[in-house]
Chains A and B, each alone.
Chain A
Amino acid sequence: MRPARKKRVAMGPFDLHRPTDLNEAISLNAHSGRTDVLSAFIAGGTDMVQLLQENVLQPRRLVSLCGLLDEGIHMDAHELRLGAAATMANVAAHPDVLLHYSLIAEAILNSASPQVRNQATIAGNLLQRTRCPYFRDVGYEVCNKRNPGSGCAAIGGENRWHAILGASESCIAVHASDLAVALVALDASVSLLGPKGQRHVNLGEMYHLPGDTPHIEADLKPGEIITAITVPRYAAGLQCSYIKVRDRASFEFAVVSAAVALDIKGRQIRDARIAVGGVATRPWRLPQVEAKLKAAHLDINALDAAAEAATQGARGQGHNEYKIELMKRAVRRALETAGGFR
């Protein structure tokens, strides 16, 4: 078992800015999605406070987004729009989400704890940092996410938690968010607001692969914040299942997770959306599995055969080969559940 190296010390000092206006907050150039920043944003704070307490992040300035962002949850004929500051708890309890986008509620209710879900914003959940124990323990200097160029302690180290998909020679850390997996399965987009104005990005594409710059996790410019998350109307009303496999029954991150949403008419699968978590450096769609299910007959053999394709391209790192088979089984379980066979 990897020994903890860091001794607990206090948070480093920072100036806390509590702007009363969103434009002021953006002008302060806090930068999300990377560790090597002078200024960081704080909203709900459930991950940020942990990162500060463990000295993983040591910004000199913290910019609070409290009270500045939309908390609303609205569904109309085009989309489901979730304000960035909507809490995990409120989104998971919203009648429109429960009825029409149940995959989102399932993913959220499988995350964290009730107290954390009351505090955490959904945008913050999407931007949470990896749980890789080497990243989170600053006693290990070797971490390309924290110290670009220093190496990766997990490669050749303890890596049962780490990625079998999307890894590079620089980083094999897994993205931790369940909600992100569900949203990527549903083709969600994010609205971003920054000093140069507004733009919209597909959520899956917002996340970077580690490549040789694992310290840059998201396509966010200085000052840019997520203002809303939108899910298209065509992703509504699908038959869904979120399966999360973990070392404890609750309040624990995924070892492997699978998000499935099936568009079923009669006994035919018109379309399938599958994403996996706990196994990849960013939320990971499985187009090869989806392709096998498009226009397939809804029967359990078709689902099981399609799940076989889930392992394409997956590669173990020494301690996490078990995830390859486990991922396939989680996908199969989620398909069977969504298909009504469980």
Chain B
Amino acid sequence: MMCDQSKTGSAGQNAVLGPSVQSSCLPPSKGRSGVAEASLLEVVLRINRGDHRLSIDPRATLLDVLREKLNLTGSKKGCGLGQCGACTILMDGNRFKSCLLLAALVERRDIMTIEGLADGDRLHPLQSAFIERDAFQCGYCTSGQIMSGIACIAEGHAGSAEEIRVWMSGNLCRCGAYDNIVAAIQDAAGKKEAGCDGAF
């Protein structure tokens, strides 16, 4: 589950990680972490307005849980180190890099992924803007760009192309679709200002 090479979800997990480590030299733990060995934690994660009860390795990042446990593969692992932003999601309305969050530390937070944006066939205005402005080529960074862009607009940081470039600097695009990404965000920000929708 933790390696980039893992192809399966939870079924392959123990094979990938190896046997649990015996750590009897450590005192029995208190709090909610369970027994002394490095074992699975029971957590409840709230994703796209639904609650999910899961058994996870303490090392699991939110990104890994989304992709490997919940099949929400819209969020991408571009670097796994918080540098590219392809894994950006919203948590309590703010933008975060899901590869930098340990899943066990975000219980009960209100998490939204790219999959949670559209209402059936009705796309979020920023999703529509990305299509109208041709704001993606390979699409790998796109989920993260859109989630980050939604927050950028909601924060009030989309007042100009220059401001958008500064406030979107946590999201990289190797295809170089930046100009169109900025245009899409400007379009959607303008629609928001004009009061066309309540999606932000």
Beyond A10-B59, A50-B81, is A45–B26 a contact (Cβ under 8 Å)? Answer: no
Beyond A115-B85, A115-B88, is A16–B100 a contact (Cβ under 8 Å)? Answer: no
B97 touches A119 (CB 8 A): yes
B147: nearest residue on chain A (CB-CB)?
A115
Q: Does B194 contact A (CB under 8 A)?
A: no
Size band of the A side of the interface? 35 or more
A13 touches B17 (CB 8 A): yes
Q: How many whole Å from A249's CB to the nearest CB in chain B? A: 8
A11: nearest residue on chain B (CB-CB)?
B59
Residues of A close to B71: CB separation below 8 A: none
Q: Which of A56-64, A154-162, A218-226 contacts B (4 or more CB under 8 A)?
A: A56-64
Q: Does A198 contact B (CB under 8 A)?
A: no
Beyond A10-B16, A62-B58, A119-B96, is A15–B104 a contact (Cβ under 8 Å)? Answer: no
Q: How many whole Å from A64's CB to the nearest CB in chain B? A: 6
A45 touches B58 (CB 8 A): no
B170 touches A66 (CB 8 A): no
Which residues between 125 and 154 of chain B lie within 8 Å of chain A, taking CB atoms? 148, 151-152
Residues of A close to B26: CB separation below 8 A: 15, 38, 60-61
Q: Does A312 contact B (CB under 8 A)?
A: no
Residues of A close to B80: CB separation below 8 A: 8, 53
B105 touches A13 (CB 8 A): no
A15 touches B58 (CB 8 A): yes
Which residues between 161 and 189 of chain A lie within 8 Å of chain B, taking CB atoms? none
| CA–CA, A10 and B97, complex, Å | 18
B100 touches A45 (CB 8 A): yes
Q: Does B101 contact A (CB under 8 A)?
A: yes
Q: Which of A17-25, A140-148, A323-331 contacts B (4 or more CB under 8 A)?
A: A17-25
Q: How many whole Å from B83's CB to the nearest CB in chain A? A: 8
Q: Does A46 contact B (CB under 8 A)?
A: yes
A49 touches B23 (CB 8 A): no
Contact with B along A200-244 (1 / 0, CB 8 A): 000000000000000000000000000000000000000000000
Q: How many whole Å from A180's CB to the nearest CB in chain B? A: 20
A118 touches B58 (CB 8 A): no
Find B41's partner among A10, A16, A60 (CB 8 Å cutoff). Answer: A16
Q: Does A113 contact B (CB under 8 A)?
A: yes
| CA–CA, A24 and B33, complex, Å | 13
| CA–CA, A24 and B36, complex, Å | 16
B102 touches A10 (CB 8 A): no
B95 touches A118 (CB 8 A): yes
Residues of A close to B199: CB separation below 8 A: none
A49 touches B82 (CB 8 A): yes
Find B170's partner among A13, A20, A114, A249 (CB 8 Å cutoff). Answer: A114
Contact with A along B149-179 (1 / 0, CB 8 A): 0011001010000000011111100000000
B17: nearest residue on chain A (CB-CB)?
A10
A20 touches B32 (CB 8 A): yes
Beyond A17-B33, A115-B96, is A251–B59 a contact (Cβ under 8 Å)? Answer: no
Find A10's partner among B2, B29, B101 (CB 8 Å cutoff). Answer: B2
Q: Does B196 contact A (CB under 8 A)?
A: no
Residues of A close to B17: CB separation below 8 A: 10, 13
Residues of A close to B121: CB separation below 8 A: none
A15 touches B31 (CB 8 A): no
Q: How many whole Å from A89's CB to the nearest CB in chain B? A: 8
Residues of A close to B148: CB separation below 8 A: 114-115
A113 touches B33 (CB 8 A): no
Contact with B along A95-127 (1 / 0, CB 8 A): 000000000000000001111101100000000
28 residue pairs from A and B, CB less than 8 Å apart = A10-B3, A14-B58, A15-B29, A15-B38, A18-B32, A18-B104, A18-B105, A24-B30, A42-B102, A45-B101, A45-B105, A46-B100, A49-B61, A49-B99, A49-B100, A49-B101, A49-B102, A50-B81, A64-B105, A112-B170, A113-B170, A114-B157, A115-B95, A115-B97, A115-B170, A116-B170, A119-B101, A249-B169
Per CB-CB distance, the 8 closest pairs between chain A and chain B, nearest first, are A113-B170, A16-B58, A250-B169, A10-B2, A13-B38, A19-B31, A11-B59, A251-B169
Residues of B within 8 A of A (CB): 2-4, 16-17, 20-21, 23, 26, 29-33, 36-38, 41, 58-59, 61, 80-83, 85, 88, 94-97, 99-102, 104-105, 148, 151-152, 155, 157, 166-171
Residues of A within 8 A of B (CB): 8-11, 13-20, 24, 38, 42, 45-46, 49-50, 52-54, 60-62, 64, 66, 89, 112-116, 118-119, 249-251
